[in-house]
Amino acid sequence: MTTKPPSQVHPAPEESLERIAYASVSGIPTVEPHDRDRLGYTIYLWLKHRRDPLEHAVKAAVVRLHISEDEAIQRIRTSLQSQGVSL
């Protein structure tokens, strides 16, 4: 049994790709929170590499949405542009 406290978690800076990606999907209604996390991670990878169009990244996340995929893509685009990401 351990007696040490867990390690401190240091939040990423506001301008980091991680923050931008997860903020861009924060308002997307999904079936489970894990779906939103998976979508955020996929958007992070897309921002990092930008090999395929954004539509392919959202489709690759295989997320169960409460809205249409097209509406989710539009919301993500709007959020990314408002955060200063050039698409």
Considering only CA atoms, which of 46, 45, 2, 40 is closest in space to residue 21?
A: 40
In the three-class reduction of DSSP (H, G, I as helix; E, B as strand; rest coil), residue 87 is classed as coil
* pLDDT band, residue 20 (cuts 50/70/90): very high
Proportion of the chain above pLDDT 90, given as a percent: 75
| Non-local CB neighbours of 25 within 8 Å, separated by 6+ positions | 36, 39, 40, 43, 76, 79
Report yes or no: 63 and 30 within 8 Å, Cβ to Cβ. Answer: yes
Residue 76 has pLDDT above 90, yes or no: yes
Per-residue pLDDT tens for 29-60?
A: 999 999 999 999 999 999 999 889 999 999 99
